[in-house]
Structure 1
C-alpha cells in the first residue's frame, strides 16, 4: 500500500470551517468534517500562529531561563523564553509557512522582549507539533549562543516574568527529575542533550 492510499484510508475531509471564539493569542476553530466512513461531525481545536522557543546560553555556558506566572496551572513556571510569531514577522500570520530567516528573527525578538538578552547566533534545533490532537500549534525550537543582557525587556501587558541564569547541568537535572514541568523546556533540553552536546 502506498503512503498516499494509506493516507486516503484514514484522512478526514473538511467541508467547512469557521472561528467560534477569538481572543488574544489564539482562536477556537470549528471544522465540519466527513470521516472515512462517510459520517459527518464537528471538530473544535485551538488555532494559533507558529511559535518559537529559545534555549539561550551565555558566553559562560549558563542557560537564560524565565520564571513566569501561568494562570492555567495556577503557579510560577520555570522555563525558556518562547512566544508566537506576530503579524509583522514575515509568514507570522499569513497562512504561509515562515522561512528559517523569519523564524530566527522572531526568536531574536522574543528573546530580547522576554529577557533583555541578545544572542550572537541562533541554530535551529527541532520543529514539533506539541499537541496536535487539540491544537494546530507548531513550535520551532532554537539554540541561541553568546547571549548577553544588552537589550531592554519589553513584556506584553499579560506577562509576569523574572529572568534568571541557571547552570545548564542543573536545568538538565530539573528536567530529568521532573522538577521542571514546562513541556517546551523539557523538549528543548532533552533534544539539545541528545543531538548537540
Structure 2
C-alpha cells in the first residue's frame, strides 16, 4: 500500500480554539504533485456506556450547537493531561462530571477513528458497570446537560430506528450489542 501514501513536506496550524486545531499539511501525492490538506486535530476522547446495577443505562441530553438541537447520547469527553493517558481514569472523570454517577468497574469496548477523512480524533469506548449517582456533577462552562436513566432495550431501539443519531452513542451501543449480549 506504500504506493498510496502521501508525503508530508510541511505542516502548520491555521486556527486554534478550545478543543481543537485546524491543521494544514503541505503534501506530495503519489503522482509527484504537491498540494495542501486541512483537517481538525483533536485530543483523544472517551465515550462511556454506563450501566446501573439494574442494567439500565445512564444517558445525557445535551445542547449541540453544531446541529442546533438537544442530542441524546452517552457521557463523553476529552482525555485530559491529568488522566495521564489512562482511558479508564478519563471515563470515570467524565462519567462523574457529566452525570454525577460513579462506576464499580470499567471495561474497554472498542477504539475508533470516527471521521478520519477530516479529523485525527480517536474515540475510546468504555463500558461502565454498577453505576450509582454518588458524585458531584462538574460541568464545563460550555455544557448544558440533563441526565436520564433508560432501559437498555429502549436505548438500543432508539439507535436502530434512528431516533438517536449521535455517532459515538450508536457505536458504543451497537458494538456492545454485537459482542456482549
Q: 2:105 aligns with which of 121, 127, 131?
A: 121
Is the aligned partner of 1:39 residue 2:33? yes
1:71 matched to which residue of 2? Answer: 65
Please state how far the C-alpha of 1:33 moved relative to its aligned partner.
0.5
Please state how far the C-alpha of 1:18 moved relative to its aligned partner.
1.0
CA displacement 1:103-133 (0-9 Å, x = unmatched): 1101100100010000000000000000000
1:182 matched to which residue of 2? Answer: 166
Mapping for residues 72-87 of structure 1, pairs under 5 Å: 72-87=66-81
SS in 2 for 1:105: helix
1:54 matched to which residue of 2? Answer: 48
- Aligned residue pairs total 181
2:179 matched to which residue of 1? Answer: 195
Is the aligned partner of 1:19 residue 2:13? yes
Please state how far the C-alpha of 1:87 moved relative to its aligned partner.
2.2
Cα distance in 2 between the residues matched to 1:41 and 1:76: 39
Cα distance in 2 between the residues matched to 1:88 and 1:27: 20
1:163 matched to which residue of 2? Answer: 147
SS in 1 for 2:87: helix
2:117 matched to which residue of 1? Answer: 133
Please state how far the C-alpha of 1:89 moved relative to its aligned partner.
2.1
Cα distance in 1 between the residues matched to 2:166 and 2:92: 21
SS in 1 for 2:83: coil
Cα distance in 2 between the residues matched to 1:15 and 1:88: 33
> What value does the CA root-mean-square deviation take over the aligned residues?
0.6
1:94 matched to which residue of 2? Answer: none
SS in 1 for 2:81: coil
Where do 4+ consecutive residues of structure 1 move more than 2 Å?
none
- TM normalised by structure 2 equals 0.99
Query: 5+ residue gaps in structure 2?
Result: none
Normalized per residue, which structure has more strand?
2
